[in-house]
């Protein structure tokens, strides 16, 4: 946790910086996934600047909290948060997806300081997080494990295999956050393979369920703090979000799942992100 956890107002300001960095790094790289990065920006900001116990000067500290972005294509939001938090110099953000960069198209724990698990194949992060949480329980450690999955990712069977195991081992040190932005690679989730009703499904698997507006920072903070304090079993936070949040021409548009803005689009996007906060 930061020495001085940020207030809600400070978190909102930091989320603006994170969104600006997302747009700038993807624009510079001319490749990347802006939509799902922007939808998760408020949640990731709250985790790194208020909720999680991490140490940029000692990224492998044994008692640190663990974080996995299972929807790994959205790694620009992870990189932006790690850089802002001090895990590496922000100059690296301009090297996204370049050969030999520490910031690859999907996060690599062998290359990027602060990354606890290499990500890429959807549906795998929740199982890795569950293993970390179970290890902590067995070794009587007090760290918490946080995993963000997409709602489209919840179409993967491996998500539900892990969901069965969490309550079996009473992993109250484990929280899954569903970034429910209603879109996946090329269409709305409901058009591809519906996953609703999500809350009822997780409850049926014996999880504690919290639902929040994933862009209301007060709700985000309250929901995550509630999850961290809940005992007896794992918690899932279903965050209702907007894909491309903060950029009008990206919001709820499938194209922006994996497309980079051109120079003019970047200018407009940055203007809207900054202007909305003002």
Low-confidence residues in the chain, pLDDT < 50: none
CB atoms within 10 A of CB 105: 17
Q: What is the pLDDT of residues 31-67, one digit of tens each?
A: 999 999 999 999 999 999 999 999 999 999 999 999 9
CA–CA gap between residue 146 and residue 174 (Å, rounded): 6
CA–CA gap between residue 25 and residue 138 (Å, rounded): 40
Q: What is the pLDDT of residues 206-233, one digit of tens each?
A: 999 999 999 999 999 999 999 999 999 9
So what's the pLDDT on residue 1? Answer: 53
Find all residues with CB under 8 Å of 179, minimum gap 6, and list them.
36, 39, 40, 43, 71, 74, 148, 149, 150, 151, 214, 239, 241
Supply 83's token pair. 């850089």
Q: Which residue, 32, 128, 24, is CA-closest to 75? A: 32
So what's the pLDDT on residue 4? Answer: 77
Which secondary-structure segment (H or E) carries 238? Answer: strand 235-240
Q: Is the pTM of the predicted complex or chain greater than 0.95?
A: yes
So what's the pLDDT on residue 236? Answer: 98
Domains, the chain: 8-277 (3.40.50.970)
């Amino acid at each position: 946790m930061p020495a001085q956890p940020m207030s809600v107002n400070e978190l909102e300001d930091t989320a603006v910086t994170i969104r600006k960095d997302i747009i700038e790094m993807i624009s510079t790289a001319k490749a990347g996934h802006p939509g799902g990065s922007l939808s998760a920006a408020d949640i990731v900001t709250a985790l790194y600047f208020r909720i999680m116990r991490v140490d940029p000067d000692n990224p492998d500290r044994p008692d640190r909290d663990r974080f996995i972005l299972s929807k790994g294509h959205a790694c620009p939001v992870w990189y932006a948060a790690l850089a802002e938090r001090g895990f590496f110099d922000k100059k690296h953000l301009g090297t996204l997806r370049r050969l030999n960069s520490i910031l690859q198209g999907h996060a690599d724990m062998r290359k990027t300081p602060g990354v606890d698990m290499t990500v890429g194949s959807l549906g795998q992060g929740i199982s890795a997080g569950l293993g970390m949480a179970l290890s902590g329980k067995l070794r009587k450690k007090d760290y918490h494990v946080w995993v963000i999955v997409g709602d489209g990712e919840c179409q993967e069977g491996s998500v539900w295999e892990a969901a069965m195991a969490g309550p079996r081992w009473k992993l109250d040190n484990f929280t899954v956050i569903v970034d429910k932005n209603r879109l996946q690679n090329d269409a709305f989730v409901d058009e591809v393979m519906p996953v609703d009703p999500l809350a009822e499904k997780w409850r049926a698997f014996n999880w504690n369920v919290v639902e929040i507006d994933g862009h209301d920072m007060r709700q985000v903070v309250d929901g995550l703090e509630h999850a961290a304090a809940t005992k007896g079993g794992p918690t899932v936070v279903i965050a209702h979000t907007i894909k491309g949040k903060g950029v009008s021409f990206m919001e709820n548009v499938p194209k922006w799942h994996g497309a980079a803005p051109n120079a003019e689009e970047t200018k407009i996007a940055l203007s809207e992100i900054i202007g909305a906060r003002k």
